[in-house]
Amino acid sequence: MKAVVYDAPRSYRVTSVPDPEPGPDEVLLRVLMAGLCGTDLHLHEGEFGPRYPLTPGHEIVGEVVRTGEAVTGLRPGQRVVLDNTSRCGDCAPCRRGMGHFCANLRAQGVTEPGGFAEYLTAREANCFAADDLPVEVAVFAEPLACVVRGLDRIALSPASDVVIFGAGPTGLLLAQLAAHSGAGRVTVAAPTPSKLAKAAEFGVDHTMRLDRADPSSGIAALRSLAPDGFDVVIDATGAVSVLASAFGLARDGGTIVVYGMAPESARWPVPAYEVFRRELTILGSFAQLHGIEPALRLLRTGRVRTDGLITHRFALDEYPQALAAAGESGCLKAVLVP
Ligand SMILES: [Zn+2]
Ligand SMILES: [Zn+2]
């Protein structure tokens, strides 16, 4: 079969590899669609713990082709989305119920073969039936599962005033779920007008143009929108320049959420006295944890909309173009359709 295979950071080929064989408790999936996200751009640079040779792709919709002999709940032809992570269940974090910190965490598309391929195998336990969802909706299950985890971490107080930096797919999913999780007002700030228009279409209360190179006028406008500060400031960009403005926008006692993935080497000066004096909370959220089922519920009810989020589609051979597109400002979600 054809697959994207990395042997080192930035070094990959779209090449022919042996077809994977499902184990007894696994299924063979034909990849119907696999989304690219910021994580894949970091993996391309060798960040986020890749294990080589690596086939990336962790946002996966597949069709069951064949089942291992111990598989009982899935049959060929079924459409599934994948929880790409597997936890050992035995290590200290697993035993504390914090499986995303598992010492032996395996993640398809990061440490194991992922979905930028024609086929992949997956444990039955990691597959979630999604026959009732269009492929282009189901492909958002994994990123939305991460957003579910983020909202779980934030534990919004009712009617909270929330501002989100970033209007990529993640920012747009976060904004919608925040609105459905008790926010009293949701504002999205980002540089790209077309993305802000999408945020408005999805029911966000305010959108704000924020130039990342010169954020001062956007920040001033946000401050006039919430003179006492926002209850929750969420960064979905991973840009340190954006995070730096979070302290000035959070209200006393407010929460700053580091949701976007910064480069591993990025450093962010934190005003320690302000955190102390103003009782600020800084929290992170990096991955989903048992979030696929809730995410599918949100997609099925349409509480969280994804229409129009896929802006670019590519074949496997066009992986270089897909990578380039995923880094462009006009791109929301780029997907590979093997
Ligand atoms: Zn992702
Ligand atoms: Zn573990």
Question: Residues 85, 200: one domain?
Answer: no
CA of 143 to the centre of ligand 1 (A): 5
Q: Residue 296 domain-assigned?
A: no
What's the pLDDT at 246?
A: 95
Dist. CA 52–CA 50, nearest whole Å: 6
Amino acid at 266: A
Share of the chain above pLDDT 70, in %: 100
What's the pLDDT at 11?
A: 98
> Looking at the CA of 82, which ligand is closest?
1
CA of 227 to the centre of ligand 1 (A): 34
> Looking at the CA of 36, which ligand is closest?
1
Specify the CATH number for the domain of residue 176.
3.40.50.720
CA of 101 to the centre of ligand 2 (A): 7
What's the pLDDT at 215?
A: 84
Question: Residues 95, 153: one domain?
Answer: no
CA of 288 to the centre of ligand 2 (A): 15
CA of 252 to the centre of ligand 1 (A): 32
> Looking at the CA of 334, which ligand is closest?
1
Q: Does residue 241 have a pLDDT over 90? A: no
What are the φ and ψ backbone dihedral angles of 315, each rounded to 5 degrees? -80, 165
The per-residue pLDDT for range 13-28, each reduced to its tens digit, is: 999 999 999 999 999 9
- The neighbouring-strand residues paired with 64 are 29
Query: Could you tell me whether strands 230-235 and 160-165 are parallel, antiparallel, or unpaired per DSSP bridges?
Result: parallel
What's the pLDDT at 263?
A: 87
CA of 107 to the centre of ligand 2 (A): 12
What's the pLDDT at 287?
A: 87
CA of 169 to the centre of ligand 1 (A): 10
Question: Residues 151, 268: one domain?
Answer: yes
Q: What is the span of the domain harbouring residue 14?
A: 2-140+306-336
CA of 106 to the centre of ligand 2 (A): 9
Question: Residues 105, 199: one domain?
Answer: no
Dist. CA 107–CA 112, nearest whole Å: 6
What's the pLDDT at 236?
A: 95
What's the pLDDT at 64?
A: 98
The per-residue pLDDT for range 199-229, each reduced to its tens digit, is: 999 999 999 999 888 888 999 999 999 999 9
Question: Residues 171, 49: one domain?
Answer: no
Q: Residue 108 domain-assigned?
A: yes
The per-residue pLDDT for range 167-178, each reduced to its tens digit, is: 999 999 999 999
CA of 145 to the centre of ligand 1 (A): 10
What's the pLDDT at 329?
A: 86
What confidence category does residue 5 fall into, taking pLDDT thresholds of 50, 70 and 90?
very high
The per-residue pLDDT for range 65-106, each reduced to its tens digit, is: 999 999 999 999 999 999 999 999 999 999 999 999 999 999
The CA–CA distances, whole Å, from 53 to 30, 113, 155 equal 20, 8, 39
Mean pLDDT of the chain: 96
CA of 327 to the centre of ligand 2 (A): 33
